[in-house]
């Protein structure tokens, strides 16, 4: 027996849940298939910086109550290096916009509750084993055995390692940036008011607030490094060195509650649609975390796809669906370009020529208003 729905969604992350909520608000039948449990989905610590565009999408569609209540505006970032530190108040540059710091697990918790309240269905613990883009069908396995679900349309929101991206016959452009980060969550309050990027010959280090009790840190490490080899003591020692705490003040330390390796790589599928299947978020394009664009791209694409699906289902007009790739991919590439720009800025180079170029870029970012406006506009926008 095959279960049927109107829009079948693979993945209960921000992409799938925003899409599902927007469709349910229009009374369109949806079903989300998610391999993790509800608890896992709602506790996965991921990105926490929502751009102004994402905040507007969530607010416009009645999905931003938690963000508006508990999110914190953030409009300053700092760069540290051998030549000292400077801050950019990007809330006063470019378009004068800011990020909202709201942990992704909190956003996902909000979106799950609202989706279920709107009559949506999520099948947690369902591992997809096959996808057919022509019939918008997913085969999955759960505790009850093998199952098949289908829809009129299928949205692939199951991430860069999900099964739906493999079903799209697309040309894929990939780039391994040759850089890996140790992503660390510390049970400690933030040590400085601004997001801080530390540039050091030992490698990059970053400080990003997540909540009053938890702070995200990044450490550049050799590709293939074992996160288990990084003890709490080793992590704090490396952060002290690279963030130059002897010069700028000590970090507020606490237990390390998560450590994992993040390999900085990019991938873009073109097109991001095939037959009745449409890719959203990381399933459509992977982007390095160097510029906090992943979740924001996912939310943007979810709104575009929801509008196109509503046009097809409510007004019998499939032209916006046909243009989905053409609408989204230019913004994906602009985000990729800025992410690459940040990678080049933050990481050390072995040769003197590129080290001098990086120093010149930092000098320009510190002193040139036009350069600062460019940075601010691209840092918060897509």
In the chain, where the domains are located: 2-78+98-174+265-341
* pLDDT at residue 381 is higher than 60: yes
Q: Which of 90, 115, 140, 197 is catalytic?
A: 197
Q: How far apart are the C-alpha atoms of 91 and 377, rounded to whole Å?
A: 10
Q: Specify whether 293 is catalytic.
A: yes
Share of the chain above pLDDT 90, in %: 87
What's the mean per-residue pLDDT of the chain? 94
Residue 302: CB partners within 8 Å, gap ≥ 6? Answer: 14, 15, 16, 18, 19, 22, 57, 157, 280, 281
Q: How far apart are the C-alpha atoms of 46 and 52, rounded to whole Å?
A: 18
Write down the pLDDT at residue 355: 86
Write down the pLDDT at residue 2: 63
Rg of the chain (C-alpha set) = 21
* pLDDT at residue 283 is higher than 90: yes
List the Cα angle 219/225/229 in 5-degree steps.
85
Write down the pLDDT at residue 177: 93
* pLDDT at residue 73 is higher than 90: yes
Q: Which of 14, 52, 74, 324 is catalytic?
A: 74
Q: How far apart are the C-alpha atoms of 219 and 184, rounded to whole Å?
A: 8
Residue pLDDT, tens place only, 165-182: 988 877 889 999 999 999
Q: Specify whether 70 is catalytic.
A: no
Phi then psi for residue 96, to 5 deg, are 70, 35
Residue 268 near residue 172 (C-beta atoms within 8 A): yes
* pLDDT at residue 265 is higher than 90: yes
Q: How far apart are the C-alpha atoms of 322 and 118, rounded to whole Å?
A: 28
Residue pLDDT, tens place only, 320-359: 999 999 999 999 999 999 999 999 999 987 788 988 999 9
Where does the pLDDT of residue 213 fall: very low under 50, low under 70, confident under 90, or very high at 90 and above?
confident
Q: How far apart are the C-alpha atoms of 10 and 335, rounded to whole Å?
A: 24
| Domain 2-78+98-174+265-341 bears CATH identifier 2.40.160.40 | no
H helix runs in 220-323, sequence order: 232-242, 245-248, 294-315, 319-322
* pLDDT at residue 363 is higher than 80: yes
* pLDDT at residue 293 is higher than 60: yes
User: Looking at the chain, which runs of residues are DSSP E strands?
Assistant: 2-10, 30-33, 49-50, 72-74, 76-81, 84-89, 99-101, 121-123, 127-132, 137-142, 145-156, 171-186, 195-198, 205-209, 215-221, 256-270, 273-274, 277-279, 285-286
Which residues make beta-bridge pairs with 206?
A: 197, 218
Q: pTM of the entire structure?
A: 0.94
Q: What is residue 381's three-state secondary structure?
A: coil
The mean pLDDT value for 50-58 works out to 96
Tokens at 58, concatenated: 């969530």
Tokens at 345, concatenated: 């800025």
Q: Which of 207, 274, 293, 378 is catalytic?
A: 293
* pLDDT at residue 1 is higher than 70: no
H helix runs in 214-290, sequence order: 232-242, 245-248
Q: Specify whether 379 is catalytic.
A: yes
Where does the pLDDT of residue 132 fall: very low under 50, low under 70, confident under 90, or very high at 90 and above?
very high
Q: Specify whether 73 is catalytic.
A: no
Q: Specify whether 74 is catalytic.
A: yes
Q: How far apart are the C-alpha atoms of 96 and 234, rounded to whole Å?
A: 39
List the Cα angle 359/333/367 in 5-degree steps.
25
Where does the pLDDT of residue 27 fall: very low under 50, low under 70, confident under 90, or very high at 90 and above?
very high
């Amino acid at each position: 027996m095959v279960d049927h729905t109107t829009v079948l969604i693979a993945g209960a992350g921000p992409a799938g849940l925003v899409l599902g909520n927007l469709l349910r608000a229009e009374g369109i039948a949806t079903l989300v298939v998610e391999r993790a449990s509800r608890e896992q989905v709602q506790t996965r610590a991921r990105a926490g910086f929502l751009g102004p565009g994402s905040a507007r999408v969530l607010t416009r569609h009645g999905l931003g109550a938690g963000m508006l209540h508990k999110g914190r505006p953030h409009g300053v970032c700092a760069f540290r290096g051998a030549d000292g530190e400077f801050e950019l108040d990007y809330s006063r540059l470019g378009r004068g916009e800011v990020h909202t710091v709201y942990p992704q697990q909190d956003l996902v918790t909000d979106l799950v509750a609202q989706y279920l309240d709107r009559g949506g269905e999520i099948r947690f613990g369902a591992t997809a084993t096959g996808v057919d883009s022509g019939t918008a069908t997913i085969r999955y396995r759960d505790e009850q055995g093998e199952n098949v679900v289908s829809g009129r349309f299928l949205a692939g929101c199951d991430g860069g390692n999900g099964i739906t991206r493999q079903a799209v016959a697309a040309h894929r452009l990939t780039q391994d940036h040759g850089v890996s980060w140790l992503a660390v969550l510390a049970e400690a309050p933030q040590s400085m008011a601004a997001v801080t990027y530390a540039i050091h010959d030992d490698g990059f280090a970053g400080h990003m607030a997540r909540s009053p009790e938890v702070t995200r840190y990044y450490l550049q490490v050799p590709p293939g490094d074992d996160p288990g080899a990084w003890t709490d003591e080793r992590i704090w020692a490396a952060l002290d060195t690279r963030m130059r705490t002897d010069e700028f003040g000590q970090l507020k330390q606490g237990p390390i509650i998560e450590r994992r390796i993040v390999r900085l790589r990019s991938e873009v599928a073109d097109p991001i649609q095939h037959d009745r299947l449409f890719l959203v978020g990381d399933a459509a394009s992977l982007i390095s975390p160097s510029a906090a664009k992943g979740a924001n791209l996912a939310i943007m694409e979810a709104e575009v796809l929801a509008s196109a699906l509503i046009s097809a289902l409510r007004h019998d007009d499939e032209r916006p669906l046909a243009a989905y790739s053409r609408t989204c991919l230019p913004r994906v590439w602009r985000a990729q370009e800025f992410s690459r720009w940040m990678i080049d800025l933050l990481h050390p180079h072995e040769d003197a020529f590129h080290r001098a170029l990086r120093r010149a870029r930092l000098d320009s970012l510190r002193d040139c208003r036009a350069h600062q406006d460019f940075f601010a506009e691209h840092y918060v926008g897509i």
